[in-house]
């Protein structure tokens, strides 16, 4: 299990953009995204954490690797959205 906290993921559009980016590097991965905590959990089948993190960055977001999904804390929902 790989987990990232992505604080600039702010709405459903961000979620689908990131999901697509992750599926591009690992089509069979299991991806779970919690928008409320800005937390992404990935069960990869072929990609490693670096590749998945890079995919999120290339989609225009800022992933912070977390060792445990429980470390994803609810963030203050200020900040900009991709859908402005
Ligand atoms: Cu958005």
Comparing 71 with 49, which gets the higher pLDDT? 49
Give the Å distance between the CA of 82 and the centre of ligand 1: 4
Cα 75 to ligand 1 centroid, rounded to whole Å: 15
Q: Is the pLDDT of residue 60 over 90?
A: yes
Ligand 1 centre and the CA of 29: distance in Å?
Answer: 22
Query: Could you tell me if 82 and 15 are in contact, meaning their C-beta atoms sit under 8 angstroms apart?
Result: no
In the chain the domains, ranked by start, together with CATH numbers, are 2-71 (3.30.70.100)
**What's the CA gap between 12 and 44, in Å, rounded?**
22
Q: Taking Cα atoms as reference points, which of 43, 62, 42, 66 lies closest to residue 54?
A: 62
One-letter-per-residue 3-state SS of 3-44: EEEECCCCCHHHHHHHHHHHHHHCCCCEEEEECCCCEEEEEC
pLDDT averaged over every residue in the chain = 87
* pLDDT class of 67 with cuts at 50, 70, 90: confident
Q: How far is the CA of 11 from the centre of ligand 1 (A)?
A: 4
The predicted structure's pLDDT at residue 69: 56
């Amino acid at each position: 299990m790989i987990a990232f906290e992505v604080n600039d993921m702010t709405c459903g559009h961000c979620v689908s953009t990131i999901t697509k980016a992750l599926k591009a590097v690992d089509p069979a991965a299991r991806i779970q995204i919690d928008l409320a905590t800005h937390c992404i959990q990935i069960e990869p089948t072929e990609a490693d954490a670096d590749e998945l993190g890079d995919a999120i960055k290339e989609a225009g977001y800022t992933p912070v690797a977390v060792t445990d999904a429980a470390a994803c804390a609810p963030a203050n929902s200020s900040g900009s959205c991709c859908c402005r």
